[in-house]
């Protein structure tokens, strides 16, 4: 069975995406820092008839990411879809005039080192099989820097650049790399921003294999 691994799985978009991919025949590996959290999500999916398991990993700890991805592949099958979507911490949200060099460590660990570690770990298997999808889910500051959330803006810029380079380098190998930008956050009453609608778009990115960046509300 093909496996979708979601780094930063939560009860909103992560759960909705796992459920949608599960209906499409994928197993779901749910990675987050809290075991109880991901086990509850996996139980909800199992009640819907979807194969799912939770794994403990911290996006800022590359070794924990690698260990969780190895365990998921051993339990569920090859990871053919990797979604990187951890939610930025509140202390990443300082204004640009309040941000010191030390304030960038956490955002860069999460949004640059984390995705690079995860991708580098699953990519050899994808290249060997000649298939795979890598998905980066970001807020609007990944596209337009926002001085009110300087740490996230700086780190998301790095993540975006890395994803674009991967997209260009891997397109001819049958591995699709895509980024979904969700301006204004998830939910809020806009039907296009609800978790289920976004999950459908994410599945579409996996299936359609078009360009790198898609922006909700600008297509």
The pLDDT value recorded for residue 209 is 94
Neighbouring CB atoms inside 10 A of 194's CB total 17
pTM reported for the whole predicted model: 0.95
- The domain in which residue 205 lies consists of 3-215
Distance CA 117, CA 14 (A): 20
Domain count, the chain: 1
Residue 109 sits in a domain of what CATH number? 3.40.50.720
Query: Of 211, 202, 190, 194, nearest to 26 (Cα)?
Result: 202
Neighbouring CB atoms inside 10 A of 33's CB total 15
Task: Identify the bridge partners of residue 181 per DSSP, sorted by sequence position.
Answer: 138, 215
The pLDDT value recorded for residue 90 is 85
The pLDDT value recorded for residue 219 is 64
pLDDT tens for 32-53 read 999 999 999 999 999 999 999 9
Q: What angle do CA 127, 171, 124 make, to 5 degrees?
A: 15
Residue 100 confidence (pLDDT) above 80: yes
The pLDDT value recorded for residue 20 is 98
pLDDT band at 158; cut points 50, 70, 90: very high
Task: Name the 3-class secondary structure at 120.
Answer: helix
> Do 9 and 84 contact (CB within 8 A), yes or no?
no
User: What is the rounded average pLDDT for all residues in the chain?
Assistant: 95
């Amino acid at each position: 069975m093909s496996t979708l691994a979601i780094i930063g799985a939560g009860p909103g978009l992560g759960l909705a995406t796992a459920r949608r991919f599960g209906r499409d025949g994928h197993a779901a590996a749910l990675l987050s820092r809290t075991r109880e959290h991901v086990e509850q999500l996996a139980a909800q999916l199992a009640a819907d008839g979807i194969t799912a398991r939770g794994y403990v990993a911290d996006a800022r700890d590359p070794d924990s990411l690698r260990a969780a991805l190895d365990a998921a592949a051993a339990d569920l099958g090859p990871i053919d879809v990797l979604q990187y979507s951890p939610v930025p911490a509140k202390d990443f949200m300082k204004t640009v005039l309040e941000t010191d060099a030390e304030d960038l460590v956490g955002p860069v660990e999460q949004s640059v080192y984390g995705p690079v570690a995860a991708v580098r770990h699953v990519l050899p298997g994808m290249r060997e099989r000649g298939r795979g999808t890598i998905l980066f889910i970001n807020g609007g500051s990944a596209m337009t820097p926002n001085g009110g959330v300087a740490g996230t803006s700086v780190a998301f810029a790095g993540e975006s650049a890395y994803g674009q380079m991967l997209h260009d380098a891997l397109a001819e190998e049958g591995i699709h790399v895509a980024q979904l930008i969700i301006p204004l956050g998830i939910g809020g009453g806009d039907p296009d921003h609800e978790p289920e609608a976004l999950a459908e778009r994410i599945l579409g990115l996996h299936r359609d294999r078009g360009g790198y960046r898609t922006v909700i509300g600008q297509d």
